[in-house]
Amino acid sequence: MVSRMMGRGTARSTAALGAVLLSVLAVPATDAAAAPADAGDRAVNGSRATTENLAAPDVAGLREVLRTALTQGAPGAMARIDDNGTVHKVAEGVADRTTGRAIDNADRFRVGSVTKSFTAVVLLQLVDEGVLDLDTSVNAYLPGLLPDDGITVRHVLSHRSGLYDYTNDMFANTVPGFEAVRNKVFSYQELVDLSLKQPLGNAPGAAYSYSNTNFVVGGMLIEKLTGKSVRSAYKTRIIKPLGLKDTSYVHPTTAIAGRHTKGYLPPDVADGTLVDSTEQTVSWAQSAGAVISSTRDLDTFFSALLRGRLTSAAQLAQMQQWTTVNATQGYGLGLRRRDLSCGVSVYGHTGTVQGYYTYSFTSKDGARTVTALANTSNNGTVLNTMARTLESAFCGKPAKAATARSQAPVERHEDIAPGVALD
């Protein structure tokens, strides 16, 4: 979700963000991401996923990417890869600029738009349970909410609703925009109302246009259909079944509990002043971006998702019905796909929230999963540097990678304020 907004752009499409940084220190398999399935999981595949078709990660190259991000303004960066029971971790720089404490993969952080995948999973579970239909109008469940009865649940989850992203206005100026909402508490309806001040950008289903409004609507659907809070839905349906010990949804509480990495937000003008953006309600995002987690927990989550432990096979397939974003990226239902130079596609989500870039992706079989974090945002250079790490993580050393697409695509937008282009 948020960051570097140097000038207002006219395009409302967005490219996926961030990047993935990975490993260096191998740890025992007992620290691996995939926990055993329990009775609350929706197990589908009995076969064990493998990574036989993937080159070994270039962990030395990934470390160099992290170090490069530090030279470009990130106070710290870390990454973890879970690879069929083998775990690698790497970290560079600091979690706290005041104390100088080193960043570490044990730290919690704000995951931004990775939250969207949590929201989508809950809604697809509700489809499995027969209480939600993807191709039914949102207004059938939330009467009168949206201006067009043609907007379906599927349109919302695939960013094809046409709903304007209110964060374009909220964060047109980075630091002032953030300070204006840092401690504010919004209702879901207030956020939708901000969006509806602008007309639909396209007819329902006609085009992909990333908008945080869509997953605010997703949160409203969860609360209407379950009769419980989004926090409760995440906890009972995802966090507890997967044993995610570092993951929480504390809105509107502002603090991150336990050991955590601080986030640092640069201003629009490069004057060297960084704002400690760690504590905030994230009420401007909620079900679109307010989850707190760790590299270990996000690896667990996406591995479990692609292994079929969170939804039925049918709904996982629906999640992977791709809308084209650009030549190397697709968006499904709360899930991103990125196509790498070696012919491998990876699945997960990117996330930006003030002071944090997150990238969390897994292989098709869920066997190799990577989560990376840099504790900065509003920095297009770091954003693009981090994007390059996927090649090393999943394709191996450059000599082993295919040459057709040797460079990661340049990222021009972020998960928040997608209409505001980066320099």
Domain ranges of the chain: 59-395
Query: Is there a contact between 375 and 77 (Cβ–Cβ < 8 Å)?
Result: yes
Q: Give the amino acid at 41.
A: D
* Residue 421 confidence (pLDDT): 54
* Rounded CA separation 413/210 (Å): 10
The pLDDT, as a whole number, for residue 389 is 79
pTM, 2 dp: 0.87
Low pLDDT (below 50) residues in the chain: 1-50, 400-407, 423
* pLDDT for the residue numbered 419: 77
For tokens 């049918």, the residue is 314
- pLDDT score at 347: 96
Query: Do residues 37 and 307 touch, judged by C-beta distance below 8 A?
Result: no
Query: What amino acid is encoded at 273 in this protein?
Result: T
The whole-angstrom separation of Cα 223 and Cα 233 is 8
Residue 74, CB-side half-sphere exposure with 13 Å CA sphere: 34
CA of residue 10 relative to chain centroid, distance? 23
CA distance 238 to 38: 12
**307 phi and psi angles, rounded to 5 deg:** -80, -5
3-state secondary structure of 216: helix
DSSP H helices, 36-163, are 59-71, 115-128, 138-141, 153-157
Contact 337, 345 (CB under 8 A): yes
Burial (0-12, 13-18, 19+ Cβ within 10 Å), 313: exposed
Identify which of 276, 278, 279, 212 has the alpha carbon closest to the alpha carbon of residue 420: 212
113 catalytic residue (yes or no): yes
- pLDDT, one tens digit per residue, over 239-271 is 999 999 999 999 999 999 999 999 999 999 878
pLDDT at 271: 80
- Can you give the length of the chain in residues? 423
The helix/strand count (H/E) of the chain reads as 14, 15
**Which stretch of DSSP H or E encloses residue 358?**
strand 356-362
Residue from 113, 209, 303, 377 carrying the catalytic annotation: 113
CA 321 to chain centroid: 18
**Residue 240 CB partners (closer than 8 Å, separation 6+):** 40
- What does each C-alpha distance from 276 to 120, 160, 406 come to in angstroms? 30, 34, 36
**What per-residue confidence (pLDDT) applies to 392?**
84
Q: What pLDDT was estimated at residue 52?
A: 60
Architecture of domain 59-395: 3-Layer(aba) Sandwich (3.40)
